[in-house]
Amino acid sequence: MTRAPAVVVVGAGPAGLFAAERLATAGAAVTVYDRMPSPARKLLLAGRGGLNLTHSEPRAAFRARYEALPPLLSAALEAFPPAALRAWAAGLGEPTFVGTSGRVFPEAFKASPLVRAWLARLAGLGVSLVMRHRLVEIAAAGALTFEGPEGRTVVPCDAALLALGGASWPRMGSDGGWTPLLEARGVALNSLRPSNMGVEMDWTEAFAARFAGQPLKSVAFRIDDRTARGEATITAQGLEGGAIYALSAPIRESLATHGAARLHLDLKPDLDGAAIARRLAGARPKDSLSAVLKKTLALTPQAIALLREAAGGPLPRDPAGLAALVKDVVLPVPGVRPLDRAISTAGGVRFDALGEGFELARLPGIFVAGEMLDWEGPTGGYLLQATFATAAAAAAAMAVRLGLRPPSPAARW
């Protein structure tokens, strides 16, 4: 009787666990290694806020969310789209719903029930989990070396998947420690950089003390030719939130190229400047400027204070000048929050370092999935969707390499 192919998965996050599930279903003997004490720690932490699995928007809009969508990632998303991820969650007894923003969540609105059901499924498939083991060497001929509580162990395998995440959640295990291991084997990488990160602002001390934690709702931010609408939150250091995160790449690019960046904030994106000026002109002369802005434009105290902060002095009294400021608050960005404060990571294994099916060209039999790869998407479900999709694609290619029948194609768009 021939033995089942031995597969090692390194990383017990969403990409690693999902690839392990697919490969075990195909007939492989799968062992998952992770340096943390327990699996899915980052997923569980993210799930405290609702676990945004994916997004419900149409295919073209969904795909456009990714920066310079590489062909391999494009094909992976086509093969494992949002409908497939929702079906998978439902199969674990965790049906999903679409929120008012179009984001998709488990009905339980947290990660723990899904993770419990998932780990039970993996155990039923015979997947072994080996925790507290850090990958320290990738040798030739399909052997990986781990450092564990009892010392170093060399683990032979027929194929391996690396799913070690980026470097933005070091306390959850994603510390980017894998980069020197791959560089030593000649794998081409792009430097790891923060993505979906906050930006820094030189607030005055009084403004930061009073308004840190306050939201800016239904606004639009622009940098160069890129605009993002949504919400942001004032922090003691600057700004963060979905509308800021969506502009991560152009903000980083501007800082790298010019040493600085300038965000343009539109506090009333649904009104043009002329309409705003008319409303301001109709205000009662005896009202204070703050009262005028509150009554005619429904601006919040933090938005009004931000206008004053950006102006660096008294606000213009004439309606046209004040309307122009409301429509274009210029905010210099001296820097961004550091990598360990970011939600996700840009950079990683370059796509030109991969062969077909997410296999490393320099290391045959070693595959990569998830956030280790150099792709970038915003929050809103796009990060997890691409993580699962690349894991599904890598697992399918590994199954073919091992002579196994890959899992059936998932639901299409």
Q: Of 153, 154, 152, 148, nearest to 132 (Cα)? A: 148
Q: Alpha-carbon torsion 21, 95, 106, 97, what sign? A: positive
Q: Is 298 exposed, middle or buried (0-12, 13-18, 19+ CB in 10 A)?
A: exposed
C-beta separation of 385 from 55 below 8 A:
yes
Claim: this prediction has a pTM higher than 0.85: yes
235 pLDDT more than 60? yes
Range scoring the smallest mean pLDDT among 187-196, 204-213, 267-276, 313-322:
313-322
DSSP one-letter code for 370: G
C-beta separation of 389 from 73 below 8 A:
yes
Q: What is the mean pLDDT of residues 8-16?
A: 97
* pLDDT band, very low/low/confident/very high, at 403 (cuts 50, 70, 90): very high
Helix (H/G/I), strand (E/B), else coil: 297: helix
Q: How far apart are CA 239 and CA 247, in angstroms?
A: 12
Q: What is the mean pLDDT of residues 367-379?
A: 96
Q: How far apart are CA 306 and CA 291, in angstroms?
A: 15
Check residue 141 and give its pLDDT. 60
1 pLDDT more than 50? no
408 pLDDT more than 90? no
Tokens for 297, please give them: 């434009």
pLDDT one-digit tens code per residue, 55-83: 999 999 999 999 989 999 999 999 999 99
Q: How far apart are CA 26 and CA 76, in angstroms?
A: 18
Compute the mean pLDDT over every residue in the chain, rounded to the nearest whole number: 95
Q: What is the mean pLDDT of residues 351-377?
A: 95
Check residue 68 and give its pLDDT. 87
Q: How far apart are CA 161 and CA 188, in angstroms?
A: 17
pLDDT one-digit tens code per residue, 301-359: 999 999 999 999 899 989 999 999 999 999 999 999 999 999 999 999 999 999 989 99
Q: How far apart are CA 210 and CA 64, in angstroms?
A: 38
Pairing mode, if any, of strands 134-139 and 329-333?
A: unpaired
pLDDT one-digit tens code per residue, 81-95: 999 999 999 999 999
Q: Of 61, 204, 39, 206, nearest to 127 (Cα)? A: 39
Tokens for 231, please give them: 């919400």
Region for 263 from its dihedrals, namely left if φ exceeds 0, alpha if ψ lies in -120 to 50, beta otherwise? beta
Q: What is the mean pLDDT of residues 15-42?
A: 97
Pairing mode, if any, of strands 366-368 and 159-162?
A: parallel
Domains by residue range for the chain, with CATH: 6-194+344-401 (3.50.50.60), 199-336 (no CATH)
* pLDDT band, very low/low/confident/very high, at 202 (cuts 50, 70, 90): very high
pLDDT one-digit tens code per residue, 132-183: 999 999 986 679 999 999 999 999 999 999 999 999 988 888 899 999 999 9
For 30, what's the count of Cα atoms within 13 Å in the CB-facing half-sphere?
29
